[in-house]
Chains A and B, each alone.
Chain A
Amino acid sequence: MESGKVTNITSERLDPEAITAMVRKDSNGATATFLGTTRDETDGRAVLHLEYDIYPTMAYKVFETILDELTEKWGIAQAVIAHRYGHVPIGEISMVVAIGSPHRKEAFAACAYAVDRIKEIAPVWKKEIYGNGAEWVGCHTDENNLALRTQK
């Protein structure tokens, strides 16, 4: 992976300012940063905190593949995907995607694409802990379709 494209998986708090700084460059007129943050309710149920499980070796490969897709599609050379795992309190950041690009059209498009792709194929699982139980998100879905996940 070229030095402008970075992936990070950590159980520590993510620092969006530090991550955004990594994609800043004098030749980039646009920087787009997405923060995925943990919400306090799902379908009317109060969520106390979240637990993220992850398959690190594969997650790194998937993140690197996605970053390469950003280069193929929009010529992106500065991009960071950072994902937190383990216990994440409500209101904290579970994921940061930061993109630098000469112009905003590519930065916005690449950022949205990267977030959607991560949610589609990254081997990461979120468990919501409620007052009266806990549930792995998406465990009742019919959308876990390999063809969908591997098409670009």
Chain B
Amino acid sequence: MIAHPNVTITVLLFAMYRERVSENCLRLTVEHPATVFSVLQQLQVEHPDIGPLVEHTLVAVNQEYAEGDQILSEGDELALIPPVSGG
């Protein structure tokens, strides 16, 4: 049986996420299979205050928008993107 290693990633927080978690970024170790979706699940368990925000949040992996089923690799940079309001 092949062992599937855990994956350690960086999670960047902005705007209301930064305020609710009181951090700019987190380091997270996620079990295989490490997907965007599983990271969101784990974050909500570890930081329940962000629960209401997740429904309207997009995710970027290594600075590109990503879907929930995207698989993450060791060292990936994930960012939570709540509704944007630039310009």
Chain A residues with a Cβ under 8 A of chain B: 36, 52-55, 57-59, 61, 83, 94-95, 115, 118-127, 136-139, 141-144, 146, 149-150
Contact = CB atoms under 8 A, between A and B. Distances in A.
A141 B87 contact: no
A61 B57 CA distance: 19
B56 A83 contact: no
Given A144-B56, A144-B58, A123 B79 contact: yes
Which 10 pairs show the lowest CB-CB distances between chains A and B? Answer: A124-B86, A138-B83, A125-B15, A58-B63, A137-B85, A119-B87, A126-B85, A122-B86, A144-B83, A138-B85
Given A36-B87, A124-B87, A138-B84, 9 more contacts: A55-B81, A118-B87, A122-B87, A123-B79, A123-B86, A125-B85, A138-B85, A144-B58, A149-B65
Nearest to B59: A146
Interface residues of B, number: 22
Interface in B57-74: 57-58, 60, 63-65, 67
A52 B79 CA distance: 17
Given A58-B63, A141-B56, A95 B87 contact: yes
Contact of A58 (B16, B57, B79, B83): B79
B50 interface: no
B82 interface: yes
A52 B18 CA distance: 13
B21 to A, nearest CB: 14
Residue from A55, A115, A124, A142 with most neighbouring chain B CB atoms (10 Å): A55
Contacts, number: 88
A58 B85 contact: no
Contacts of A118: 86-87
Nearest to A141: B83
Contact of A144 (B16, B57, B60, B79): B57
A141 B85 CA distance: 11
A126 B56 contact: no
A126 B18 CA distance: 13
B15 A136 contact: yes
Residue from B14, B60, B85 with most neighbouring chain A CB atoms (10 Å): B85
A124 B60 CA distance: 13
